[in-house]
Homo-oligomer: A and B are copies of this chain.
Amino acid sequence: MLKIVAAVIGRDLKLAMRRQADIVSALFFFVIVVSLFPLGIGPEPDLLRKLAPGVLWVAALLATMLSLPRLFADDHRDGTLEQLALAPHPLGLVVLGKVVAHWLVSGLPLALLAPVLGLQFDLSADALLVLTGAILLGTPALSGIGGIGAALTLGLRGGGVLLSLLVLPLYIPVLIFGAGAVDATVTGLGPEAHLSLLAALTFAALGFAPWAAAAALKIALE
C-alpha cells in the first residue's frame, strides 16, 4: 500500500527535479502575482496592509492551480496513465501519491516563501507566522481538490481553463479560512478557529479526493 504511494511520489519528484524550472517558476509566479497587485492598485502602505492576506492567498491559489493541468495530462498523453490504471492496486493510491508530490512541489515552497512577501506588505511578525502556518495547512487541500478537477478535465481540450472553472469555486472555503486566519491575527482575534477549520478541510480533502479523482480518471480512460 504505502510502497506504491512512495513509488509514485518518488517518480513525480524525480520528474520535477528534472525540470527544476517547474518548482522555481511556480514560486516566482507566486512572487510576481503578489507584486502585480501593488502595481495595479497603488503604493499606499495602509491600503496594502489590509489587502495583504487576501492577495497572498489568491496568489497561492492561482500558483497551485497553474500546475494542476499537468498533474495527469503528461501521464495521459504518453500512455503512462493507462499503465498506472492497469497496475494491480487501487488507482486511488496512485492519485494520493501524485497529490502529495504535487503539494511537495507547489504548496510547501509557497509556504516557505510567503513570509518574505508578507514583509513587502509590511505585515507584523505574528501575522507572518500565522500566514505561513495557514498556507502549510491549507495547500494540501488545494492539491487534493485540484486533483479531482485535473482528473475531470483530463483529455478535454481547453482543460486548463475549464479546470480553473471547476476548481476555483471549491477553493473558496480554503481561501476564506486562510485569509481569515491572518486577518484575525492582524485585528487581534486569535487565528485558532480558522486554523482548525483549515486542518479539517485538508484532512477531508486528502481522505476523499484521491478516490473521487480515481473514479474520474477511469472515466477519462474509457
- What is the interface of chain A, defined by CB distance below 8 A to chain B? 19, 21-22, 24-26, 28-29, 32-33, 36-37, 39-42, 47, 50-51, 53-55, 57-58, 61-62, 66-67, 69-70, 74, 156-158, 160-162, 164-165, 168-169, 172, 175-176, 179, 183
Q: Give CA–CA (A19, B156) in the complex, Å.
A: 9
Main secondary structure of the interface of A (DSSP, over half): helix
Q: Give CA–CA (A175, B24) in the complex, Å.
A: 24
A171 to B, closest residue via Cβ:
B36
Q: Give CA–CA (A29, B149) in the complex, Å.
A: 14
15 A-B pairs besides A41-B179, A66-B161 with CB distance below 8 A are A19-B156, A19-B158, A21-B162, A22-B161, A28-B164, A29-B161, A33-B62, A36-B58, A36-B61, A36-B175, A37-B55, A40-B54, A41-B53, A42-B183, A160-B160
Q: Give CA–CA (A61, B55) in the complex, Å.
A: 15
A51 to B, closest residue via Cβ:
B41
A66 to chain B, nearest CB (A): 6
| Pairs A–B under 8 Å by Cβ, sample size 28 | A19-B157, A21-B157, A21-B158, A22-B158, A28-B164, A33-B168, A36-B61, A36-B175, A37-B54, A37-B55, A37-B58, A39-B175, A39-B176, A39-B179, A40-B53, A40-B58, A40-B175, A40-B176, A41-B179, A42-B54, A47-B47, A62-B62, A66-B161, A66-B164, A67-B160, A69-B160, A70-B160, A74-B157
Given the interface pairs A36-B61, A54-B41, A58-B40, the reply to whether A25 lies near B172 with Cβ below 8 Å is no
Q: Give CA–CA (A165, B183) in the complex, Å.
A: 29
Q: Give CA–CA (A169, B165) in the complex, Å.
A: 25
Q: Give CA–CA (A172, B33) in the complex, Å.
A: 11
Q: Give CA–CA (A161, B157) in the complex, Å.
A: 18
When the two chains form the complex, which single residue of B32, B41, B67, B179 contacts A165, counting CB atoms closer than 8 Å?
B32
A166 to B, closest residue via Cβ:
B25
